[in-house]
């Protein structure tokens, strides 16, 4: 559980989170700047109906570049994460000879993200990953604010 906003105005929402006080680094250009996962996705992940994956922004832009070259569509950085996952799954299936339908959502074009693509193509992006230590600090603060959350999580998430 966490708040949906940094000001803690929204009610607590059942979600996987890295903390409502999350602020992405200025070097992060890969979209997805929100601190939590949607409650429905969090629930499905808790029930092992799906798995979540995280990628660094360089790997995401590498996948987006391949998609651009093969499909002729410039994806926004946000769906480029899904493209990276779809490519990884396709490569895994190719290796194991598993036949599988792989579906992903291309929910936005990258025409408003040309600066991020320019930075990527000119080597200005770093393979940044949010520090685990900062996530741990945020979770500690959240438990201090709401000590009863651990009991709720055992029941619902």
54 pLDDT higher than 60: yes
Average pLDDT, the chain: 85
Lowest mean pLDDT among 27-31, 66-70, 127-131: 27-31
Q: Give the pLDDT of residue 135.
A: 83
Give the closest residue to 130 by CA, choosing from 50, 66, 54, 37.
54
* Higher per-residue pLDDT: 78 or 85: 85
Domain positions in the chain: 1-53+130-157, 55-128
Q: Give the pLDDT of residue 151.
A: 77
26 pLDDT higher than 70: no
Q: How many angstroms separate the CA atoms of 96 and 93, rounded? A: 5
Q: How many angstroms separate the CA atoms of 66 and 39, rounded? A: 31
Q: Give the pLDDT of residue 106.
A: 93
Please give the DSSP secondary-structure letter assigned to residue 27. T
Mean pLDDT of 88-100: 98
Q: How many other β-carbons are positioned within 10 Å of the β-carbon of residue 72? A: 7
pTM, full prediction: 0.75
Q: Give the pLDDT of residue 27.
A: 54
């Amino acid at each position: 559980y966490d708040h949906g906003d940094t000001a803690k105005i929204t009610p607590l929402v059942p979600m996987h989170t890295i903390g409502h006080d999350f602020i992405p680094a200025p070097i992060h250009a890969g979209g997805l700047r929100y601190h939590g996962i949607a409650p429905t996705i969090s629930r499905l992940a808790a029930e092992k109906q799906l798995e979540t994956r995280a990628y660094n922004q360089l790997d995401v832009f590498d996948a987006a570049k391949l998609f651009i070259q093969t499909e002729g569509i410039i994806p926004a950085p946000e769906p480029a994460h899904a493209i990276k996952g779809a490519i990884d799954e396709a490569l895994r299936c190719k290796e194991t000879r598993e036949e599988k339908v792989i579906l992903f959502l291309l929910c936005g074009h990258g025409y408003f993200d040309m600066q991020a693509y320019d930075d990527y193509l000119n080597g200005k992006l770093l393979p940044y990953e949010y520090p685990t230590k900062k996530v741990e600090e945020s979770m500690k603060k959240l438990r201090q604010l709401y000590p009863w959350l651990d009991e709720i999580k055992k029941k619902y998430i």
